């Protein structure tokens, strides 16, 4: 009797932890931020498998875009200035926050530490000067040594072009004609293969990036020398889809809205040259024309943007301007509405509405908050970004979407 009692005391029965159905686990995990989910991958193999499942990534993304609270918490501003930085959306304009509270975090991204060609020059500099040979009057036999003052503030990193952002993936070009799909939240990236030789001739080209809802595919559009080709992430390949039916004077990346990429373009209408907004459907892979504001008479001096889900047309170069146009009803030309600002700009890009409903704008390489109701504005100082280099900016969402999570079909 005593022996049996001792055996029972020495062998306690372990309590079983009940397993929740997978759909409930997905529902719970989809409400958590990406940083927490990455920490939870270490809990068990089951959790690692679940958090790495594309189904959770889709559920997490759906929660983000359909819930205003999650959307606000997971939105970020990405800034390029010889480096990539991330800035919390909720920290901008929150409760009248002071500018000194804004801190940008440096991101790790592909080819970050690849030198831009200045490294060899800087290595050959002596005493802060660079010496090179120059021949006089074509006499190569007796070259003259020229002493150049080389500033030490020269940045040795390549400029990173931000070509577009969609569902947490950012299309970047950290080197010339070298494209990556990059998730800043998970640090995953995928090198986009170069188009086959002959697809788009060398020279002028612009890009657009977005998501094809119908075919569940992320696509990169390249326009150059009269040709349009599309890269599909699902098939990991390029295709020529059509010729570019407009004048080849587009110089900016396309703007994504409603599953469509937009450019300001012009085309010859008989004798005259007419300006329209070219809308390229990622689903059908065809162009359609949308009316531009009546004031637009040359596409070279205007670009498109997006503010609060509405298409915009803005001045882009040459002179100072203090106005832009908003299409309040998508696709309806009569809905173009002119907005006049209390400041002037050469180039401006709308980014988003901040926490206090002020518009966050990239104006001539500076961030500012503009109050559209009383026309007041204030420039923002973002700590953590070197001053003086200028920058370009865009927005992205913190998601689990993987650039490597699509299979060839």
The CATH number linked to 378 is: 2.120.10.80
DSSP 365: T
Residue 35 resides in a domain = no
pLDDT value of residue 332: 95
- The number of folded domains in the chain is 1
pLDDT value of residue 125: 54
List the 161-166 sheet strands across, edge first.
Answer: 161-166, 169-175, 178-183, 188-191
- CA distances, 327 to each of 119, 305, 336, 339 (Å): 47, 10, 4, 11
pLDDT value of residue 13: 44
pLDDT value of residue 16: 45
Residue 235 resides in a domain = yes
C-alpha torsion 218→222→228→233, nearest 10: -20
Residue 18 resides in a domain = no
Residue 297 resides in a domain = yes
Please state, in angstroms and rounded to a whole number, the distance separating the CA atoms of residues 158 and 83: 8
Is residue 125 exposed (0-12), middle (13-18) or buried (19+ Cβ within 10 Å)?
Answer: middle
Residue 275 resides in a domain = yes
Residue 361 resides in a domain = yes
Residue 197 resides in a domain = yes
Residue 334 resides in a domain = yes
Domain that holds residue 79: 66-119+145-397
Which residues in the chain land under pLDDT 50? Answer: 6-17, 98, 152, 409
Residue (of 149, 216, 215, 219) closest to 181 by Cα position = 219
pLDDT value of residue 10: 47
pLDDT value of residue 200: 64
pLDDT value of residue 91: 81
Whether 187 and 404 have beta carbons less than 8 Å apart is answered as no
Name the β-bridge partners of 231: 220, 238
pLDDT value of residue 177: 82
pLDDT value of residue 250: 83
């Amino acid at each position: 009797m005593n022996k049996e009692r001792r055996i029972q005391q020495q062998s306690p029965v372990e309590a079983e932890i009940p397993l929740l159905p997978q759909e409930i686990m997905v529902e719970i995990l989809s409400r958590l931020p990406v940083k927490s989910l990455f920490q939870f991958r270490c809990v068990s193999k089951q959790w690692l498998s679940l958090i790495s499942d594309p189904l959770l990534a889709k559920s997490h993304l759906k929660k983000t875009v359909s819930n205003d609270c999650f959307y606000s918490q997971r939105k970020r501003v990405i800034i390029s200035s010889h480096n990539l930085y991330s800035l919390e959306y909720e920290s901008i304009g929150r409760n009248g926050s002071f500018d000194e509270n804004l801190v940008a975090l440096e991101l790790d991204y592909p080819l970050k530490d690849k030198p831009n060609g200045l490294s060899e020059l800087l290595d050959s500099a002596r005493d802060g000067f660079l010496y090179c040979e120059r021949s006089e009057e074509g006499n190569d036999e007796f070259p003259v040594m020229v002493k150049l003052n080389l500033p030490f503030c020269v940045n040795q990193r390549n400029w990173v072009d931000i070509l577009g952002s969609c569902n947490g993936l950012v299309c970047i070009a950290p080197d010339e004609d070298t494209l990556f799909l990059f998730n800043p939240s998970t640090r995953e990236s995928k090198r986009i293969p170069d188009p086959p030789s002959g697809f788009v001739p060398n020279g002028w080209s612009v890009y657009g990036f977005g998501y094809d809802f119908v075919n569940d595919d992320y696509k990169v559009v390249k326009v150059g020398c009269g040709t349009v080709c599309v890269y599909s992430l699902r098939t990991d390949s390029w295709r020529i889809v059509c010729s570019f039916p407009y004048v080849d004077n587009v110089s900016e990346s396309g703007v994504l809205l409603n599953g469509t990429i937009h450019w300001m373009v012009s085309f010859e209408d008989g004798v005259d040259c007419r300006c329209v907004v070219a809308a390229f459907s990622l689903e059908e892979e065809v162009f359609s024309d949308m009316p531009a504001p009546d004031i637009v008479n040359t596409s070279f001096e205007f670009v498109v943007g997006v503010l609060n889900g509405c298409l915009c047309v803005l001045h882009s170069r040459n002179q100072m301007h203090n106005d832009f146009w908003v299409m309040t009803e998508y696709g309806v030309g009569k809905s173009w509405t002119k907005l006049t600002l209390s400041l002037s700009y050469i180039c401006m890009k709308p980014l988003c509405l901040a926490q206090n409903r002020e518009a966050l704008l990239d104006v001539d390489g500076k961030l500012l908050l503009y109050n559209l109701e009383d026309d007041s504005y204030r420039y923002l100082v973002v700590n953590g970004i070197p001053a003086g280099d200028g920058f370009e900016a865009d927005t992205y969402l913190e998601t689990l979407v993987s650039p490597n999570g699509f299979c060839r079909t």
